[in-house]
Amino acid sequence: MKYRKLVVLLISILLVSVLSGYCVPYNDCTSKFDITARRLARKKQPEKKTIEWNTEWTYASFSEIHDDSVVLYYSKAQDRKDIVVCVNAGHGTPGGNSVKTQCHPDGSLKVTGGSTAKGSKYAAAVSSGMTFLDGTPESEVNLSLALILKEKLLEDGYDVLMIRETDNCQIDNVARTVYANENADCHIAIHYDSSSNDKGFFYISVPNVDSYRSMEPVVSHWQEHMDFGEAILSGVIEEDVKIYGDGDMAIDLTQTSYSTVPSVDVEVGDQASDISEAAQEKVAEGIAEGIDQYFQAS
C-alpha cells in the first residue's frame, strides 16, 4: 500500500513538473523535448529517393538518352537547409558521343564555339571527355570530385541530387538539366578542360549575345547563372585554388540553354592539373563554400 502511494505521488510530481515547464533532471525541459523531436524526425526521414524520368517535364522531349534514374540524398545534419543541390559529374555516358541533341530549345544556332562549333544546331548528347596526362579518363575524375562534394554538402545540411554515381550513366546533357530543373534548387556540373598547361579553375559564364540572352529559358535565368558562378568562384578563391584568368569563360552550353534553376558548369583544371584526393578535397570545400554564399545572399 505504501509503495502504491509512493508511485502515485511520484507520477503526480512528474505531471506537475511537465505542465509547469520544469523537469527535475533538466534545467530546460522544452529544449530537451525539441531535441528529441528533431532526432525522431531525422530518423523518419528517408536516406535517399530514386527519381525516374518523366516525359511530361518541360523540355523533356528534347532529350534522346534518359534510360537511367537519379538519386536524391537527404541530409541528416541537425541544421538541415531544405535546399537541394544537383551535382552532375560530367561525361560518363558510353555511346553518348554518337547521339545528337538540339543545342537550343528554340532551334537557333550556337553563338559561340566550345566542344561544339559555333553555328551548330545539334551537339553530342554527351561527349566522351578528355584524358589526363597520366591516362585517367576525365569522367572518372569528375565522378571522384562529385562524390567528395556530395558528402560535404550533406554534412552542411544540403540535400543532394546525384545525376550519376557510376561510369555508365545513360542520361544525356539535356536530361541531366531537366532532372535538375524539376528536382533541385541549383545545378552544378563538374568538368576539367581539355588544355594541358594546368590553367586552373574557371566557370562557364553566359555569353553576352543579345539573341542568346533573349531566348527562353535563358532570358529568365541568365543572371541567376552568373550570380551562382561568381559565388562558387569566390568560395574556391577562399580555398586558395589556382584560378584561370578572371575565373570565367563565356560559352554557349546545352546546360545553360535549358536550365530553369541557377546553373553553372565549372572547369576545375585541365589535363595537367593535380587530381589527387587532397587537391579535390580543397576544390570541393571551395565549391561548398560558394554554394553557401549564394544561398545566404539570395
Task: Specify whether 20 is located in the same domain as 164.
Answer: no
The DSSP code for 244 is: E
Choosing from 10, 25, 44, the residue where a domain stops is 44
Task: Specify whether 184 is located in the same domain as 160.
Answer: yes
Task: Specify whether 108 is located in the same domain as 1.
Answer: no
C-alpha span between 21 and 29 (Å, rounded): 6
Task: Specify whether 134 is located in the same domain as 208.
Answer: yes
Task: Specify whether 126 is located in the same domain as 17.
Answer: no
Task: Specify whether 38 is located in the same domain as 69.
Answer: no
Task: Specify whether 188 is located in the same domain as 78.
Answer: yes
Task: Specify whether 177 is located in the same domain as 288.
Answer: yes
Q: Which CATH number is 258's domain given?
A: 3.40.630.40
Residue 175's pLDDT is 98
Task: Specify whether 206 is located in the same domain as 286.
Answer: yes
Task: Specify whether 38 is located in the same domain as 63.
Answer: no
| Residue type, position 278, single letter | A
Choosing from 44, 60, 78, the residue where a domain stops is 44
Task: Specify whether 51 is located in the same domain as 72.
Answer: yes
Question: For the CA atoms of 193, 117, 247, 231, what is the dihedral angle to 10 degrees?
Answer: -100
C-alpha cell at 197: 598547361
Range of the structural domain that residue 20 is part of: 1-44
Residue 266, exposed/middle/buried by CB under 10 A (0-12, 13-18, 19+)? buried
89 closest CA partner among 159, 148, 163: 163
In the chain (298 residues long), the average pLDDT of successive 10-residue segments reads 49 46 40 46 73 98 98 96 98 98 98 96 98 98 98 98 98 98 98 97 98 98 98 98 98 98 98 98 98 94
Residue 44's pLDDT is 57
Task: Specify whether 64 is located in the same domain as 165.
Answer: yes
Number of domains in the chain: 2
C-alpha span between 286 and 290 (Å, rounded): 6
